[in-house]
Copies of this chain bind each other. A is one copy, B any other.
Amino acid sequence: MSEDRRRKRGPQARAARNDHALLEAARDVIAAEGAHASVSAIAARAGVGIGSLYRRYASKDALFQHLAVISLDQHLHAAEEGLEHDDPWDGLAHYVTSAISFGTAVLNPIAGTVDITDEMADKNTRSDRAVEELVRRAHDAGVLRPDVTAVDIALLIEQLSRSPLTEQLGYQGRADLNAAACNARSRIVAIALDGLRTGAPHALPGQPPGYELFTERWARPER
Contacts and interface: CB of A to CB of B under 8 A. Distances in A.
Interface residues of A, number: 57
A193 interface: yes
A108 interface: yes
A19 interface: no
A221 interface: yes
Contacts of A195: 190-196, 201
A52 interface: no
A204 B124 CA distance: 27
A172 interface: no
A108 B215 contact: yes
Contacts of A170: none
Contacts of A147: 203-204, 208
A159 B148 contact: no
Contacts of A32: 34
Interface of A: 32-34, 36, 107-109, 111-112, 116, 121, 124-125, 128, 145, 147-149, 151-152, 154-156, 158-160, 162, 164-166, 184-185, 187-188, 190-196, 198, 201, 203-204, 208-211, 213-215, 217-221
